[in-house]
Amino acid sequence: MDEMEDHGGNIYDKDIRIDFSVNVNPFGMPEAVKRAAVRGVEESFRYPDPRQRELRQALSDAFCIPAERIVAGSGAAELIWGITAALQPGKALVCAPSFGEYEGALLARGCQVERFYLRGENDWLATRELVRRAGEEPGLEMLFLCHPNNPTGRLAPAEILKGLAHVCHERKITLVVDECFLDLTREGEAASALALQGDCPELLVLRAFTKMYAMPGLRLGWLAAGGEETAESIRRMLPPWNVSWPAQMAGCAALEEQEFARKSADLLLEEREWLSGQLRKLGFRVWPSDTTFLLFEGPEDLQEACLKEGIYIRDGASFPGLWAGTWRIGVRTREENLVLLEVLREIMKERKMDRWQK
């Protein structure tokens, strides 16, 4: 492609058979969630609840968080921008590579952004060095952590997460932990930062319905703030009626789909291990992942070659800290993954390579 994409999923100007550029549950939206969204459309002759009362109460019941501390948004991205608008940090720290909206939202508010570079030789894991940096960086007011991280797929080790929460509380730094992929890990809620909010009220935890319930087009995310005042300050920065009625109804229905979520995670995490092994057999360098997408290294023109076959993969070079020839793919069904592997084999065959070698 002539222009590098900031996000995956932009299929609208391409001829795509299978989209591996996004990390969305390939089993699709649960039927009950679809029905709820349709009912929401049928009832959309009236305005949606501007306070999302039913949705926030359902989240409160599901996660044992007071509804007053929950803020709903039109996707997690809107909430990221709402956080920076409400809290107006002067200086912030982000990891690299990581989700680009953190830096974008911070820069839009005139914030000075510093990067902490994760390292491929450490399999992209956050280390004690990040905790040290958070404790020593002069004038730091906000820190974003993606957990598990996009595009590397790595969870922050529990001791690192706790260390960051402790340091941020001591220094009164707002710690934003993005857990939008957490329900697609084996650790699940056991790895969540939510339990740390009691000791670190400066902690904000972001979640989304997008990935697990395959509803990115409906746009629905939420955050849990450590205090009601912080939640309300963020809420005030969001537009009125920011969450549509179909999205609110779909979200309530999704929270009832616990069996669907469990089975999806189990199947996709097992498939990730298989797909990772198959990519390694083709000679690609594949890094470990804790969730349902993979980061690997291959030819620098691999996206272009795949697009000719209707296969869309995400260019890692769009992430600061990665480089040309790094690629991210979402794990899909076995049938779809076999199509991807066959396309990759043919690309290697055309280049007279049994295996890719840098």
* Contact by Cβ (8 Å): 208, 220: yes
Task: Look at residue 4 and tell me if it is in a domain.
Answer: no
pLDDT at 171 over 90: yes
**Tens of pLDDT along 237-281?**
999 999 999 999 999 999 999 999 999 999 999 999 999 999 999
In a shared domain, residues 210 and 273: no
Q: In angstroms, rounded to a whole number, what is the distance separating the alpha carbons of residues 61 and 66?
A: 8
Q: What is the pLDDT of residue 312?
A: 97
* Contact by Cβ (8 Å): 100, 305: no
**Tens of pLDDT along 117-130?**
999 999 999 999 99
In a shared domain, residues 234 and 158: yes
Q: In angstroms, rounded to a whole number, what is the distance separating the alpha carbons of residues 152 and 96?
A: 10
In a shared domain, residues 44 and 190: yes
Q: What is the pLDDT of residue 34?
A: 98
Q: What is the pLDDT of residue 257?
A: 98
* Contact by Cβ (8 Å): 158, 191: yes
In a shared domain, residues 271 and 309: yes
- Cis amide linkage into residue 26, ω under 30° from 0: no
CA atoms within 13 A on the CB side of 197: 23
In a shared domain, residues 89 and 104: yes
Task: Look at residue 2 and tell me if it is in a domain.
Answer: no
In a shared domain, residues 119 and 263: no
In a shared domain, residues 191 and 295: no
Task: Look at residue 225 and tell me if it is in a domain.
Answer: yes
Task: Look at residue 22 and tell me if it is in a domain.
Answer: yes
Q: What is the pLDDT of residue 245?
A: 98
In a shared domain, residues 102 and 232: yes
Q: What is the pLDDT of residue 297?
A: 96
CB neighbour list of residue 118: distance below 8 Å, 6 or more residues apart:
95, 96, 97, 98, 124, 125, 126, 149, 152, 321
**Number of domains observed in the structure of the chain:** 2
The two tokens of residue 102 are 């953190």
For residues 351-355, average pLDDT? 74
Q: CATH number of the domain that 312 lies in?
A: 3.90.1150.10
Task: Look at residue 338 and tell me if it is in a domain.
Answer: yes
Q: CATH number of the domain that 40 lies in?
A: 3.40.640.10
Q: What is the pLDDT of residue 358?
A: 67
Q: What is the pLDDT of residue 225?
A: 98
Identify the weakest region by mean pLDDT among 2-16, 43-57, 248-262.
Answer: 2-16
User: Which of 143, 135, 163 lies closest to 91, judged by CA?
Assistant: 143
CA atoms within 13 A on the CB side of 145: 33
In a shared domain, residues 96 and 240: yes
In a shared domain, residues 195 and 221: yes
CA atoms within 13 A on the CB side of 246: 14
Q: What is the pLDDT of residue 3?
A: 60
Task: Look at residue 239 and tell me if it is in a domain.
Answer: yes
For residues 52-71, average pLDDT? 98
Q: What domain range includes position 159?
A: 31-254
**Tens of pLDDT along 269-287?**
999 999 999 999 999 999 9
pLDDT at 2 over 60: no
Task: Look at residue 358 and tell me if it is in a domain.
Answer: no
In a shared domain, residues 262 and 218: no
Last residue of a domain, one of 237, 254, 271: 254
* Percent over 70 (pLDDT), the chain: 97
Q: What is the pLDDT of residue 4?
A: 63
For residues 81-97, average pLDDT? 98
Task: Look at residue 213 and tell me if it is in a domain.
Answer: yes
* Percent over 90 (pLDDT), the chain: 93
In a shared domain, residues 35 and 24: no
**Tens of pLDDT along 91-101?**
999 999 999 99
Query: Is the pTM here over 0.75, yes or no?
Result: yes
Last residue of a domain, one of 254, 271, 305: 254
Last residue of a domain, one of 219, 254, 289: 254
pLDDT at 338 over 60: yes
pLDDT at 1 over 80: no
